[in-house]
Amino acid sequence: MRWSAILKRLALIPPTLLGVGAIVFVLLRVVPGDPIAMMIPPGASPADIARLRALYGLDQPLLAQFVTWLGQVASGDFGRSISLRQQVFELVGARLPATLELAALAVALALMMGVAVAVVGSLLRGSRLEWLLDTANGFFLAIPDFLWALILLLGFGVLLPLLPISGRLDPQLAVAFRTHFYLIESLLTLRFDVAADLLRHMLLPSLALALPFAALVARLLKAQLAEAEDQDYAQIARTRGFSRTTILQREVFPNALIPTVALSGVQVTLLLGGTVLVERIFSYEGIGNMAIDAVINRDFPLIQGLILTFAVLFIALNLAVDLLVAVLDPRLRHG
């Protein structure tokens, strides 16, 4: 990707975020439920209600509210959550690491599974087993993450109770953390019992997120491997007497990787979006689960902050994938 293309992409980010913000803002203001009605004690006087509405700026005209909010957001102030009565920025900051750790584990699991399936599938090319593997792969691809979450919850949480199905950490493990990246912190501070418990809680939700993504990676990579294996350089390596595994490893794999990263990288945003429901199903304390609560509680500032967070993550991911492809592919480096 050329620098000018990157600059163009960067220039499109602010208007996109502005659009996202405007749509959410308008959408939320036509919600029939009143957030104030949910926080007042019974028997509050109309004057109290009016004062609360004024406190959250809900008595202003829509456009004035939007402009005020934009000004605040621009200065890093995302407002106060109505239902949790804390700064949105702090709330999101405390929950985002949980979601990022979960998504990162899911992507890691998916890459391992996807690459393994693609390589095995390539070695089985033309056999009956390949057909079986492809069919199974299609099945894993067709079922979305939240259905996997329900299936895993039923299978390994209820029928064969091997793993915890709720929360991020066993509450009996009373640990004080400095950061909100629990997994990374516990690994760095060598508290492996805590890390193991965190991983046990993360395994089912991250597997649910990983399975369809792994199937996608497997399908894309396998097709790319097949294509790369038919190229001249692979044929030449074969005539020089290298074994099929060596050729796959040394010649074919690196070349098949670039298009796979380009095609599957964008889909990581889908995985990230999937955390909303998967976290909900496993009562995992990330921003996805928080977002659903925020919608149910009509917590405008929190919903706005969370959706903007997701939007920033999505845009950043897309850009990162493009840059990664540019770094991996020497042909694109000089445009």
Partner 1 sequence: MADLILSGPISAPASRWRSALARGGARLWIGGVLVALLLLIALFAPVIAPHDPAEQDLMSAQLPPAFMRGGEAAFPLGTDSLGRCVLSRLMYSARTAVSVALIASLLAAIIGIALGLVAGAFGGVPDQSVSRLIDVWMAFPPVLLSIVLAAVIGAGLVSVIAAIVVVDWTRFARIIRAETQAQLARDYAAAAHVLGLTRAQALRLEILPNLVPLIVTLLAVEMGIAILVEVILSFVGISVTGDTASWGGMITEGRQIVYQAPWIMALPILAVIISVIGFNLLGDGLRAALDPVQRR
Please work out the total of residues on this chain that contact partner 1, with binding judged by CB under 8 A: 48
Is residue 315 a contact residue for partner 1 (CB under 8 A)? yes
Shortest CB 175 distance to partner 1, Å: 29
156: DSSP letter: I
The DSSP symbol for 41 reads: P
DSSP string, 205-261: HHHHHHHHHHHHHHHHHHHHHHHHHTSHHHHHHHHTT--HHHHIIIIIHHHHHHHHH
96 within 8 A of 179, measured Cβ to Cβ: no
Q: Give the chain's end-to-end CA distance (angstroms, integer).
A: 6
Write the CA distances from 222 to 17, 180, 264, integer angstroms.
36, 38, 13
Measured between alpha carbons, how far is 292 from 148 in angstroms, rounded to an integer? Answer: 19
Judged by CB under 8 A, the stretch of 54-62, 67-75, 185-193, 299-307 that binds partner 1 is 299-307
Residue selected from 49, 295, 319, 332 as contacting partner 1 according to rule CB under 8 A: 295
Contact flag: residue 280 with partner 1 (CB under 8 A): yes
| Binding status of residue 218 toward partner 1 by CB under 8 A | no
Letters for 255-274 (x = contact with partner 1 by CB under 8 A, - = none) are --------------x--xxx
> What is the spatial distance between Cα 23 and Cα 178, in angstroms, rounded to a whole number?
36
Q: For residue 70, state whether it binds partner 1 (rule: CB under 8 A).
A: no
Could you identify the residue written with the tokens 């057909």? 131
307: contact with partner 1 by CB under 8 A: yes
- Given the rule CB under 8 A, which of 35-43, 207-215, 221-229, 300-308 is the region that contacts partner 1? 300-308
Q: Does 159 bind partner 1 (CB under 8 A)?
A: yes
Which residues are at the interface with partner 1 (CB under 8 A)? 12, 15-17, 19-20, 23-24, 27-28, 30-33, 138-139, 142-144, 146-147, 150-151, 153-154, 158-159, 269, 272-274, 276-277, 280-281, 288, 291-292, 295-296, 298, 303, 306-307, 310-311, 314-315
